[in-house]
Chain A
Amino acid sequence: MAIAGSPIVQLRHFARSALAGLRASPLPAAIATLTIAVTLVLAGAFALLVRNMQGVIDRLGSEARITAYLAPGASDEALRSLVGQARALPGVAAVELVSPERARERFRKEGERQAALLDALGENPLPASIEVSVLPDHRSATAIASVAESLQGLAGVDEVSRAQDWVEGYARTVALLRAIGIGLAGVLGAATLFLVASTIRLALYTRRGEIDILALVGAGRAFIALPFLLEGVIEGLIGGVLAVATLFALWSAFLPSIAGGLELLLGGAPARFLLPAELGALVIAGVVLGGLGAALSLAGGWRR
Chain B
Amino acid sequence: MSKSYVAGTWALHDVSCTIAKGEFVFLTGASGAGKTTLLRLLFAAERPSEGRIRVLGMPIERLAARRVASLRRRIGVVFQDFKLLPGRSVEENVRIALDVAGVPSGESRARAFAALKQVGLQHRRHHEPLSLSGGEQQRVAIARALVNEPELLLADEPTGNLDPALTLEIFDLIAATAARGTTVVVATHDPAVLERYRRRTLRLEAGQVVEDRPGLGARG
A210-B85, A216-B83, A217-B73 known; A4-B65 Cβ under 8 A = no
CB-CB contacts below 8 Å: A1-24 with B: 1-6, 8-10, 12-13, 20, 24
How far does the alpha carbon of A174 sit from the alpha carbon of B96 in the complex, in Å? 56
Say yes or no: is B169 at the interface (Cβ < 8 Å to chain A): no
B-chain residues with CB within 8 Å of residue A220 when the two chains form the complex: 65-66, 69
B-chain residues with CB within 8 Å of residue A143 when the two chains form the complex: none
* A12, A219, A221, most chain B CB atoms within 10 A: A219
CB distance from A225 to the nearest CB of B (A): 12
A217 touches B70 (CB 8 A): no
A9 touches B102 (CB 8 A): yes
CB distance from B155 to the nearest CB of A (A): 13
Say yes or no: is B100 at the interface (Cβ < 8 Å to chain A): yes
B-chain residues with CB within 8 Å of residue A215 when the two chains form the complex: 69, 72
Q: Give the interface size bracket for A toward B.
A: 20 to 34
CB distance from B190 to the nearest CB of A (A): 23
Say yes or no: is B77 at the interface (Cβ < 8 Å to chain A): yes
A2-B66, A4-B70, A221-B65 known; A216-B103 Cβ under 8 A = no
Say yes or no: is B57 at the interface (Cβ < 8 Å to chain A): no
Say yes or no: is B97 at the interface (Cβ < 8 Å to chain A): yes
A-chain residues with CB within 8 Å of residue B43 when the two chains form the complex: 216
Where chain A touches its partner, the secondary structure class is helix
B70 touches A9 (CB 8 A): no
Say yes or no: is A209 at the interface (Cβ < 8 Å to chain B): yes
CB distance from A68 to the nearest CB of B (A): 75
B85 touches A218 (CB 8 A): no
Say yes or no: is B210 at the interface (Cβ < 8 Å to chain A): no
Name the residue on B nearest A213 (C-beta). B83
Say yes or no: is B104 at the interface (Cβ < 8 Å to chain A): yes
CB distance from B148 to the nearest CB of A (A): 8
A9 touches B65 (CB 8 A): no
Name the residue on B nearest A6 (C-beta). B102
A218-B69, A220-B66 known; A5-B96 Cβ under 8 A = no
A24 touches B100 (CB 8 A): no
CB-CB contacts below 8 Å: B54-80 with A: 65-66, 69-75, 77
A-chain residues with CB within 8 Å of residue B103 when the two chains form the complex: 5-6, 9
Name the residue on B nearest A210 (C-beta). B85
B73 touches A218 (CB 8 A): yes
A-chain residues with CB within 8 Å of residue B72 when the two chains form the complex: 215-218
B100 touches A223 (CB 8 A): yes
A-chain residues with CB within 8 Å of residue B70 when the two chains form the complex: 4, 218
A-chain residues with CB within 8 Å of residue B148 when the two chains form the complex: 217
B-chain residues with CB within 8 Å of residue A218 when the two chains form the complex: 69-75, 97, 100-101
B-chain residues with CB within 8 Å of residue A9 when the two chains form the complex: 99, 102-105, 108
B-chain residues with CB within 8 Å of residue A304 when the two chains form the complex: 45
Name the residue on B nearest A9 (C-beta). B102
A4 touches B73 (CB 8 A): yes
Question: Can you list 27 A-B pairs with a CB-CB distance of less than 8 A?
Answer: A2-B66, A4-B70, A4-B73, A4-B100, A4-B102, A5-B100, A9-B99, A9-B104, A10-B99, A10-B102, A12-B105, A20-B87, A24-B87, A209-B83, A210-B85, A213-B83, A214-B100, A217-B72, A217-B96, A217-B97, A217-B144, A218-B70, A218-B73, A218-B101, A220-B69, A223-B69, A304-B45
Contacts A209-B85, A218-B75, A220-B65 known; 6 new A-B pairs at CB < 8 A: A2-B66, A6-B103, A10-B102, A214-B96, A221-B65, A304-B45
